Every structure is written in structure tokens, then in C-alpha cells.
Structure 1
Amino acid sequence: MGSISARTAGYLQSTMRTVATSGAAGPRLGGLAGTGTKTGTAEEGDHTNGRLTAYDSHIAVAALVAGGRTGVDYAGYVVRQLLTEN
């Protein structure tokens, strides 16, 4: 598998930082400098799972909450705790 270009990496970082500061994850991660994130949900059978992945300059984390309705409202709390304890 090849690597992505610096330009593509820059676009991806910018988009993920926007999601963390003023997008869907803003309510949970908005005050954390240098953080980028991607939120999500996955429907599985009769329930929904919430997930959230994020990074800062020290760590990258991911959380999945089975039965969580949204990533930011359920997994977001777990991710924030991990990012602020680092």
C-alpha cells in the first residue's frame, strides 16, 4: 500500500480539525488544541453503535460504544478522557 501525498494529508488534517473544533465533535473536543477527529455511527441489526477516532500531537485513539446512538454523544466522552489524560 502506498502513502498519501502531503497535499492530501494536509486536506485530511484540516477537515478533521474542523470536525473537532466546530463540527459534529465540537461539543466534546472543541477546547482541545491540535485535535482532529472523525465521528460515526454504524447500524447493526436492531441497534446503532457510536464510534469516534481522534488524534492530537501525542496520541491517536478510537472508541466504539455498542448501542451508542452517535459517536460524539457516546464514544466522544471516552476519547476526550483519553486525550486529556495524555
Structure 2
Amino acid sequence: MNEEHTDFYDELLPWFNYKVTEFSKEGYDNIEAKELYICFKNHVWKHSVPSYYYQRVFDIMNFTVNQFFDFKTLEAQIYQVSSLDEINFEEFL
């Protein structure tokens, strides 16, 4: 996994972990910091990573669980899951 990290992963890891804790308190215990990082890398900041640290933190703090599930839905469509039987919905409960 280290090879796919850019320099902002390590510096923002505490904020991703904070968001994981927040989502866990909302009842979503299976979301991990790695997944959030991938979501930000491939979706939120796909075209450009904010220049300043505070802007990145602001984006993370304003990120909602609905936005995360929008990303997961888009990801499932891109990878063309052939059947709903292949998705483990228990992970999201």
C-alpha cells in the first residue's frame, strides 16, 4: 500500500482517523482510513489536491458518510459488479 500513497496520506492520517471515529459513532463501524484516503485520492481530489493543508483538512472535516457511499456506489458501477449477490452489504451496517 505504501507505493500508492502520496505525500499527503501520512500528514492527513490523523484527520482520516478522526473521520473514521465520527462515522463509527454514527453506526458505520466498517469504514477504514485507507478507504477514505482512496475516496479522496480517486474522487474528491481527483483533478487537484488543495494546495494548502488547512484546505485539505477542511474538505475532510466537511465530508459526510453519504458522500462516501456515493463514491462506493460509483466505484461499484465502474468495476461493473455483475450481481448484487457479490456485494457484502453486512459491511455497511
User: What is the TM-score of this pair, normalised by structure 2?
Assistant: 0.30
Higher fraction of strand: 1
- Choose between structure 1 and 2: higher helix proportion: 2
